Amino acid sequence: MTGFTVSIDRSETPARLDFSEPFNVAVPFIDRHVAEGRAGKIAIRTADGETVSHGQLAERVNRCGNALRAADLAPGDRLLMVVRDCPAFFYLFWGAIKAGFVPVPVNTMLRAADYRAMIERSGCAALCYSPDFSAEVEPALDAADHRPKLLWVEDESLGDVLAAASPELAPAPARAEDDCFWLFSSGSTGRPKAAVHRHRDMVATSEYYGVGCLGIAADDVFYSAAKLFFAYGLGNAMTFPLWVGGTAVLDAARPTPESTFALIERFRPTLYFGVPTLYAAQLQAMETATPDLGSLRACVSAGEALPGDLLRRWRDATNLDILDGIGSTEALHIFITNRAGDITPGASGRVVPGFEAKIVNETGAVVASGEAGRLLIRGPSTARAYWEEPERTAQVMQGDWLDTGDTYQCDDTGAYVYGGRSDDMMKVGGIWCSPFEIEARLCEHPAVLEAAVVGRADDAGLIKPAAFVVPAGEARATLIDDLIAHVKVGLAPYKYPRWITLVDELPKTATGKIQRFKLRDA
């Protein structure tokens, strides 16, 4: 491990991180646990009964890295991963990094046209996909103008390849600031973009948010309903447990209230990570179910702002708090969060130590306390650039500052309150109006499971709120009138939705973010 370490001084706030040179991030996340005597400790448990120790993980990571090197890939070549939540995801991701290649995990719920675009845009030299996704990946390969030189099928060819490779691998020399992995944005406002992350970034999020805010430790068991392929799940279920030598619980299946309750009861995790949509569905399921959540010391939410009423109802039903926060693909994980003992319902919380935030107006000037504006953040985990998108990079990554695209206001206690995506803000009667505020009020009604609000022009061409509502159960005939009255009572009269459409579901990204741009044309 000599020459590939990071030293941490936790006597300072935030902790001071000093990276060696060279530095390959696979060493502290994978190799360190073997060197420090944790080879026999369980690193991964899966819903189908597989267990992987830290020692086995390190060996298989090495085998994967050697297999990639044997394929004659060039340093920095990309490995596109369309892989389910399983131990092989870890082997591929860390094996690529340790060997000097760039893993690119992508959304496993996409279609052939999406995968074709990602294959072509990444110029990937290698691609591994789980058999579950062959019906979409294989047509994408056939149609793509670019063909990866190396193709592996997880759970088929990958096992034989790893068995034949050497279990010893020296880490490729790198620096903390070098490119390490890519993540495609979730596409809440259109076509996904590839955010290029560095070796330092996973260390920063694991230490500043994981240790500094959640207090993660080696005896924690981590269960994330959010999947590994996007930033929130990648931290929850992989980098956080590996940083402290804890245990990750993986489930390849789509999470449901029933499956999440069963896994919590079976594996007894101490930390559970979900999204607001799932918490709402779990609450609905608790009307007839009584799951045992006694192992949990904390529940975490991100992906979409958590309405205050949903937090209160969860607390009443479970005697547990939900620690809501905001993060992004570009920042890698959460940078503003509520903490145990310091929770503001309806707010995202306070800035994670190690990060900075400011709220600016349309001219770029910092607004006064309590005023709404565009949220910018900076910190040690923000992406270097969007791959081959210089204009978008310049718009979003403004020097050290990252423009989140979210509207926020900061109250006099330092709590940050979400106001919706900046592009979703609307002027109603000449006054700025937040769609999230209306959505939160709608969701306080017991007959509403979910809601989304967008701006729509009326007959006079003036913008007014339009709501799309997923009812909680069978909708009664008077529901729309009841909801309009409910909003008028709780909010300023001009904010009530002029149109309400009842729908079975809302369009969302993999992270649970509502894709409002799809609703504007509905």
Let me know if residue 498 belongs to a domain.
Answer: yes
* Token pair of 234 as six digits: 């990648």
Average pLDDT, the chain: 93
Q: Are residues 149 and 212 in the same domain?
A: no
User: Residue 37 pLDDT > 90, yes or no?
Assistant: yes
Q: How confident is the model at residue 3 (pLDDT cuts 50, 70, 90)?
A: low
The pLDDT of residue 508 is 84
As a whole number of angstroms, the distance between CA 417 and CA 300 comes to: 17
Q: In percent, how much of the chain has pLDDT > 70?
A: 96
CATH number of the domain that 460 lies in?
A: 3.30.300.30
Let me know if residue 456 belongs to a domain.
Answer: yes
Which range among 103-117, 128-142, 282-296 shows the weakest confidence by mean pLDDT? 103-117
The pLDDT of residue 1 is 47
Number of domains within the chain? 3
Let me know if residue 43 belongs to a domain.
Answer: yes
3-state SS of 201-268 is HHHHHHHHHHHHHHCCCCCCEEEECCCCCCHHHHHHHHHHHHHHCCEEEECCCCCCHHHHHHHHHHHC
142-185 pLDDT, tens digit each: 999 999 999 999 998 999 999 999 999 999 999 999 999 999 98
Q: Are residues 273 and 377 in the same domain?
A: yes
Q: Are residues 407 and 333 in the same domain?
A: yes
Let me know if residue 476 belongs to a domain.
Answer: yes
3-state secondary structure at position 341:
coil
User: Residue 511 pLDDT > 70, yes or no?
Assistant: no
Let me know if residue 380 belongs to a domain.
Answer: yes
* Cβ pair 194, 337 in contact under 8 A: no
Of all helices (H) and strands (E), which one includes residue 67?
A: helix 54-70
Let me know if residue 51 belongs to a domain.
Answer: yes
User: Residue 517 pLDDT > 90, yes or no?
Assistant: no
Q: Are residues 174 and 104 in the same domain?
A: yes
Q: Are residues 172 and 35 in the same domain?
A: yes
Let me know if residue 365 belongs to a domain.
Answer: yes
User: Residue 130 pLDDT > 60, yes or no?
Assistant: yes
315-357 pLDDT, tens digit each: 999 999 999 999 999 999 999 999 999 999 999 999 999 999 9
The pLDDT of residue 461 is 67
Closest C-alpha to 200, from 178, 215, 182 = 178
284-323 pLDDT, tens digit each: 999 999 999 999 999 999 988 888 988 999 999 999 999 9
452: which strand partners? 468
* Cβ pair 372, 408 in contact under 8 A: yes
User: Residue 474 pLDDT > 90, yes or no?
Assistant: no
Q: Are residues 259 and 341 in the same domain?
A: yes
Q: Are residues 403 and 440 in the same domain?
A: no
Closest C-alpha to 205, from 240, 155, 256 = 240
Q: How confident is the model at residue 190 (pLDDT cuts 50, 70, 90)?
A: low
* Lateral strand order in the sheet of 385-386: 179-184, 194-198, 385-386
Alpha helices in 101-228 (DSSP H): 112-122, 134-143, 157-164, 201-205
Q: Are residues 218 and 176 in the same domain?
A: no
Return the exposure string of 47-70: e unless at least 16 CB atoms fall within 10 Å of the residue's CB, then b.
beeeebbbebbbbbbbbbbbbbbe
CATH number of the domain that 139 lies in?
A: 3.40.50.12780
Let me know if residue 14 belongs to a domain.
Answer: no
* Token pair of 202 as six digits: 């996973």
Q: Are residues 100 and 221 in the same domain?
A: no
486-499 pLDDT, tens digit each: 999 888 777 899 99
User: Residue 429 pLDDT > 70, yes or no?
Assistant: no
Around 308, how many Cα atoms within 13 Å sit in the side-chain half-sphere? Answer: 12
197-250 pLDDT, tens digit each: 999 999 999 999 999 999 999 999 999 999 999 899 999 999 999 999 999 999
Span 374-390, average pLDDT: 97
Domain that holds residue 80: 29-182
Helix %, strand %, coil % for the chain, to 5?
A: 35, 25, 40
As a whole number of angstroms, the distance between CA 268 and CA 274 comes to: 16
On the 0-12 / 13-18 / 19+ scale of CB atoms within 10 A, 119 is buried
pTM for this one? 0.86
The pLDDT of residue 230 is 86
Q: Are residues 450 and 377 in the same domain?
A: no
Closest C-alpha to 31, from 176, 187, 236, 245 = 245
3-state secondary structure at position 443:
helix
Q: Are residues 499 and 411 in the same domain?
A: no
221: which strand partners? 247
Q: Are residues 232 and 364 in the same domain?
A: yes
Last residue of a domain, one of 376, 396, 421: 421
194: which strand partners? 184
pLDDT greater at residue 517 or residue 79: 79
Residue 310, φ and ψ in degrees, nearest 5 = -65, -40
User: Residue 521 pLDDT > 90, yes or no?
Assistant: no
Span 450-478, average pLDDT: 87
